[in-house]
Structure 1
Amino acid sequence: MPEFLLCRVEDTFLVSGRGLIVAPGFPASAYRFDANQQVRVVRPDGENLECSAVFQIPFQAPPAKVLSFFCTLPAATKQSVPIGSEIWLLGRNESDVKLAADA
């Protein structure tokens, strides 16, 4: 099954009713995601957690200058995804998600 390293977690935010949002975000001009994806979280201590992730561009008022996808892990906690964890996207190749840079 294809997989690739999407990011290292720089920060986390637990939002009631939504779940754990991980930073960084992913600029919409550079990435495309299906709304629901499977990911593997590899913690700094080597423990692994596979879970569902939701990728969406949040509504903001006023609108953000750069639209970005945010990754929400509805079933995760701040303790289960510490800063420094790696987020691996499962079932997709990097070329399926990252858009080609403008030439």
Structure 2
Amino acid sequence: MSGKLVVRIAEIEIDLDQLESYRALLAEEIEASVALEPGVLSLNAVSVKDSPNSIRILEVYASQAAYEAHLQTPHFLKYKSATAGMVTSLTLLDVDPIAMHGKP
């Protein structure tokens, strides 16, 4: 399974009073992960229209090993620790890609 893509959707609800701080920490974590980890192929975060504290992240990793390595990085651990009190709900969905394309 080490060569198969791992694709997940994180559904996250954030305490509205801490949303600005959360978004800054998330942006920092995503930038570091994509820049520093070859196995992190893409991380895309959006908020649900008219519900800015409902965050969705599409995560694509090169393999299960890349995903597991990501969870141990200093930048991810900093994000998890710093945002622990901001997150009111977290659901992780493992999904199967159907069609995923992008421009370089």
**TM bracket (short chain):** 0.3 to 0.5
Q: Comparing both structures, which one devotes a greater share of its residues to strand? A: 1
Q: Comparing both structures, which one devotes a greater share of its residues to helix? A: 2
If the length of structure 2 is used for normalisation, what is the TM-score?
0.35
